[in-house]
Amino acid sequence: MSADADARTRPRRLTIALAGNPNSGKTTIFNAITGTRQKVGNWPGVTVEKKEGQIEGFGYDLRIVDLPGTYSLTPFSIEEIVARDFVLDGRPDVVIDIIDASNLERSLYLATQLREIDCKVLFALNMADLARSRGLKIDAVKLGELLDLPVVFTVGNRHEGIDELLRQAIALAETGTLPPQKRRVRYTQDIEGAIAQLRAFLDTRGGDALGYNPRWAAIKLLEDDQIIKQRLTERAGEAAAGVLEEARRLRRQLADRYDDEPEIVMTDERYGFIAGIVREVQTATTRQRVDMSRNIDLILTNRFLGFPIFVFFIWAMFQLTFALGAYPMGWIEAGVEQIGRVLDLWLAPSLLRDLIIDGVVSGVGSVVVFLPNILILFFCIALFEDTGYMARAAFLMDRIMHLIGLHGKSFIPMLMGFGCNVPAVMAARSLESEKDRVLTILVTPFMSCSARLPVYLVLAGTFFAAQAGTVIFVIYLLGIVIGMLSGRLFRKTLLRGQDAPFVMELPPYRVPMAKSLVIHMWDRSKMFLRKMGGVILVGSVIVWALSAFPRQVPYHSDYSALERAVAEHYQSRMAGATGTEHPLLAAERDGALEDLRRQKRAEHTRLSYLGRIGQFIEPVFRPMGIDWRGGVALLSGVVAKEIVVSTMGVLYGADSDDQNALGKALGAAGMTPLAAAAMMVFVLLYVPCLATVAAVRREAGNGWMAFSVLYSTVLAWVAAVAVYQGGRLMGLG
């Protein structure tokens, strides 16, 4: 074959798109085809995940594009628009439609829509084994004959039929002309008449400019498809107005005749067409066999057991994430410290060394340390998703979430927020409706993440001693309540409108595949590292620079002279002491020197740009009973909450890093319990960290990011001031 010879010299490049319903096993087939050679990104302009794989095989360069799983190709969700646009404008050479054999009717609904577009389609009849065990037998040969397309049996998770599928796809791509469709959806006479009329109209008025199959374009215009209408206006210019007017007229006519919207009538007719095919190719024997999924659900969504089990799973997830994650976290922490120490020895004292150690290493270290948590958390989430439990969680929680204007699926991102807001904001992707997604993203930061806990521990531990636990619990609760109230508020004002319907499939439970779990987990973690690492790096370098400059400050006292004096003082004492006393004296001396250095550092920070900013903005923090040092700590906390405690340590001149020492220093500096409470409230509510801000920007855009930052900061200030001033009025201060 000449094509083969051609391929040997330069492999031909083919684009194959995978389409199919959610839960049809599409991802499994995609993984089986591409293995680990896949690239995960986003479809341009939207947050829908785009997966692509590049493989070489059969003498071809194959680019496999995984389209979002959809039930249809109407333009009612981003996923559907993305999938349809790729088939229309991305010009794939072949579309493989994954047909879920145990759900033939619904799979064929998407298939008929693909067929109407007039692209090269072949079917992967997937999970036929499962269908057979449920008593459904499908005549694949007949199905292929009826619809004039190749049908290949596949079992994705056992890699069966994958090679054959690719071979058939390539063969189809290489056929010159489209095979004729003997059997296609025929609508009733009235509708067919309207289609023909509109088509004739299109032919004379810019239908060519649109570039789509004319019958399909006419059908879409009759269905009042906003995107095709818009595209027609863009591409056909002035001619479009006439076509749109005609379409409107025909739509009205049809609506009158059927007493219903034409698109609904047409959907019904497509189903009628499908019903005919299903009757011919599918034979159902003993239907209701034991349904494993149903049995599992008898327990997992049981009226009494459902919630306790759900709570247990969530508890187990957090245990795994934080208890198990603590070990590798410790190792990474030690590793980062070690790197700092080694660099400390290697590099001569210089500005560059400070930048590398205090800025870059500690900044990046503070993020990398969360990697184990993130990995485990994402693994658990992937496990929930891949087994099918996630849909059940949404099923259980929807009632509660709906009360606060959210969706059942919002629960998982909010829950993850208690661990880390960054993956939580990213997890909001699982929400289909744009409004629900934005709402969830706005509310999630009020869930108190683990990085805020150390701040509470220091403040509550110092000022509320015995009641510390209760106080911290109240803070967490406050976050939840404020999140709920904000959710309701946004739903009533900014994100008003119809709730997205909660029509959701509860897919059968499946045993997850290790490979798929790992791919899922790693893709998301990679995104966390890449995007957030950059932000944190820049942020920590900025905070470091602000606290390090100007280099030369007019110190209050001459620290070098003081250091020398201390050194001399101990030298003389050690000269007169016995050998056994030497180590004790040396330790005492080192302590005194360390104290001096800390005082010097604190003074330097006070005189640095960061300190000056802190004193400049002190009036902002005064009303909540916090002095400039607390203000600076909170300001640096914008980068990451982990920095708050360490900054306070430096500024208040605590003589060691542990909580007690810092607590004492805070008390000595005149902080009151009321001010500590106000500070905790502020920490709970204001911008969680730069990484979260970056995630919000990425997921919801600049506008919502700005709103989120502004809203949470203003709210934090108002709440903290209310706590402090209110408390004082009640005589608590």
Interacting residue ranges for other proteins, rule: CB under 8 A: 71-72, 74, 76, 102-103, 105-106, 109, 134, 136, 261, 263-264, 267-268, 271, 293-294, 297, 301-304, 306-307, 391, 395-396, 398-400, 402, 408, 498, 500-508
Residue 556, CB half-sphere, CA atoms under 13 Å: how many? 10
How many angstroms from the chain centroid is the CA of residue 101?
31
Q: Which two tokens stand for residue 260?
A: 């219903």
Q: Which amino acid is at 216?
A: W
Residue placing its CB nearer to other proteins in the complex, 310 or 528: 310
Token pair for residue 110? 């998407």
What are 562's two structure tokens? 């003081």
Nearer to other proteins, 306 or 733 (CB): 306
Q: How far is the CB of 267 from other proteins (least distance, A)?
A: 5
Nearer to other proteins, 62 or 393 (CB): 393
Shortest approach of other proteins to residue 280 CB, angstroms?
Answer: 17
CB of 213 or CB of 293, closer to other proteins = 293
- State the nearest-atom distance from the C-beta of 271 to other proteins, in Å: 6
Give the H/E segment covering residue 38: strand 38-42
Query: Shortest approach of other proteins to residue 408 CB, angstroms?
Result: 8
Indicate the SS3 state at residue 182.
coil
- Pairing state of beta strands 282-284 and 136-138? antiparallel
CA distance 669 to 456: 18
Distance of CA 522 to the CA centre of its chain: 13
- Least distance from other proteins to the Cβ atom of residue 114, Å: 14
Q: How far apart are CA 369 and CA 346, in angstroms?
A: 24
Compute the C-alpha angle 687/688/691, nearest 5°: 105
Distance CA(391)–CA(612), nearest Å, equals: 52
Q: How far is the CB of 12 from other proteins (least distance, A)?
A: 36
Least distance in angstroms from the C-beta of 509 to other proteins? 11
Please tell me the distance from the alpha carbon of residue 255 to that of residue 248, in angstroms, as a whole number. 10
**Which H or E run contains 41?**
strand 38-42
CB of 88 to other proteins, least distance (A): 19
Compute the distance between CA of residue 198 and CA of residue 247 in angstroms, rounded to an integer.
Answer: 7
Cβ 105 to other proteins, closest distance in Å? Answer: 6
Nearest approach, Cβ of 136 to other proteins (angstroms)?
Answer: 8
Within its chain, how far is the Cα of 140 from the centroid?
Answer: 39
Least distance to other proteins from the beta carbon of 110, Å? 9
Residue with smaller CB distance to other proteins, 112 or 448 = 112
Q: Whose Cβ is closer to other proteins: residue 365's or residue 507's?
A: 507
Nearer to other proteins, 306 or 328 (CB): 306
Q: Which long-range contacts (CB under 8 A, 24 or more apart) does 272-276 make?
A: 273/112, 273/185, 273/186, 274/105, 274/108, 274/109, 274/112, 275/105
* 308 preceded by a cis bond (ω within 30 of 0): no
Closer residue to other proteins in complex, CB, 143/396: 396
d(CA 333, CA 577): 40
Residue 165 CB contacts under 8 Å (≥ 6 apart), including other chains:
29, 33, 96, 122, 124, 152, 154
Beta carbon nearer to other proteins, 207 or 408:
408
Which amino acid does the sequence have at 412? I
Nearer to other proteins, 106 or 622 (CB): 106
> Please, which residue, 345 or 503, has the CB nearer to other proteins?
503
Per DSSP, the residues of 276-303 read HHHHHHEEE-S-----HHHHHHHHHT-T
Q: Which is nearer to other proteins, 206 or 508 (CB)?
A: 508
Q: C-alpha distances in angstroms, 187 versus 101, 458, 555?
A: 26, 71, 88
Kindly state the smallest distance separating residue 439's Cβ from other proteins, in Å.
Answer: 17
